[in-house]
Amino acid sequence: MREFSRGEIACAECRRLKIKCDRLVPCSTCVKRGCQTLCPTVGEFPNMLKTYILTTEFRFVLAATDHLHRKLAKFEARMHSLEDALTIAQTTYNLEPHLLLSDREDIYTDTQELKPIPRASEDEVNLNPYIPGSLHVNGSGINRFFGPSGAPEEERLKSISIPRLPELDNSYLPPEIINFTRSFPLTPPNIPIASTQRSILSFLPPIERAIALCDTFLENLSWMFHIVSRHLLVSELIPAIYQGTSLYGPHELALLYIALAVGVLVDLSIEPLNLESQHFYHLARAALVLQPVLTESSVTTIKVLHMMSIHNGLSGQENLEQSYAFINLAGQVATQVYIDPSSWKFQGREAYDRRVYWWNLLSGILWNSLVTGRPSGIFAEFITCKIPTVEEENMYQRGEFPLGFGVWGFHTTYTCLLPLVHITLSAKPSYEKVLELDAKIRMLVNPKPDSDPLDDRTAISMRTFVRSHYSHLMLLYLHRPSFSLAMTEHAANPLMSPYGKSVLTAYHAACAVLDDTRIQYQKKPLLVCRVWQIWSFAFSAAVIVGTIATRPNCLDVKPQPLEQFELACEVFRGAAEVSRRAAKALVCML
User: Count of domains in the chain?
Assistant: 4
Domain, as residue range, for 374:
338-428
CA dist 568 and 518 (Å) reads 8
Residues 477 and 543 in one domain: yes
Give a yes or no: residue 365 inside a domain.
yes
CA dist 528 and 434 (Å) reads 31
Give a yes or no: residue 74 inside a domain.
yes
* Final residue belonging to a domain, choices 336, 368, 403: 336
State the burial class of residue 324 (Cβ atoms within 10 Å of its Cβ: 0-12, 13-18, 19+).
buried
Give a yes or no: residue 163 inside a domain.
no
Give a yes or no: residue 124 inside a domain.
no
pLDDT at 532: 85
pLDDT at 294: 82
pLDDT at 225: 80
Write the DSSP symbol of residue 4.
E
Residues 314 and 349 in one domain: no
Residues 368 and 292 in one domain: no
* Final residue belonging to a domain, choices 66, 97, 128: 97
CA dist 528 and 314 (Å) reads 11
Residues 271 and 205 in one domain: yes
Write the DSSP symbol of residue 137.
E
pLDDT at 27: 86
Contacts of residue 436, Cβ cutoff 8 Å, sequence gap at least 6? none
Residues 417 and 457 in one domain: no
Write the DSSP symbol of residue 135.
E
For residue 316, count other CB atoms closer than 10 A to its CB: 22
- The three-state secondary structure class of 100 is helix
Residues 353 and 478 in one domain: no
In which residue ranges of the chain is pLDDT below 50?
Answer: 1-5, 43-63, 94, 105-130, 136, 138-142, 149, 152-161, 163
Residue 382 near residue 335 (C-beta atoms within 8 A): yes
With vertex at residue 202, the alpha carbon angle to CA 196 and CA 204, rounded to the nearest 5 degrees, is: 120
pLDDT at 317: 67
Rg of the chain (C-alpha set): 33
| Cα separation values, 17 from 41, 45, 140, 191, Å | 14, 11, 74, 97
Handedness of CA 399, 404, 406, 408 (dihedral sign): positive
CA dist 565 and 583 (Å) reads 16
Residue 546 near residue 562 (C-beta atoms within 8 A): no
Give a yes or no: residue 353 inside a domain.
yes
pLDDT at 54: 40
Output the 3-class SS for 491-557: CCCHHHCCCHHHHHHHHHHHHHHHHHHHHHHHHCHHHHHHCHHHHHHHHHHHHHHHHHHCCCCCCCC
* Final residue belonging to a domain, choices 97, 119, 152: 97
pLDDT at 212: 95
Provide the residue count of the chain: 590
Give a yes or no: residue 116 inside a domain.
no
Residues 345 and 323 in one domain: no
Q: Catalogue the E-assigned strands of 31-133.
A: none
Residues 558 and 570 in one domain: yes
Residues 72 and 217 in one domain: no
Give a yes or no: residue 108 inside a domain.
no
With vertex at residue 267, the alpha carbon angle to CA 261 and CA 269, rounded to the nearest 5 degrees, is: 140
In 3D space, the residue among 192, 167, 162 whose CA is nearest the CA of residue 177 turns out to be 192
> Structure pTM?
0.71
Residues 7 and 44 in one domain: yes
CA dist 324 and 368 (Å) reads 6
Residues 205 and 270 in one domain: yes
Residues 181 and 325 in one domain: yes
pLDDT at 45: 45
pLDDT at 451: 55
CA dist 230 and 249 (Å) reads 19
Give a yes or no: residue 548 inside a domain.
yes
In 3D space, the residue among 262, 143, 164, 260 whose CA is nearest the CA of residue 209 turns out to be 260
Do β-strands 3-4 and 143-146 pair in parallel, antiparallel, or remain unpaired? unpaired
Phi-psi region of 445 (alpha: psi -120 to 50; beta: other; left: phi over 0): beta
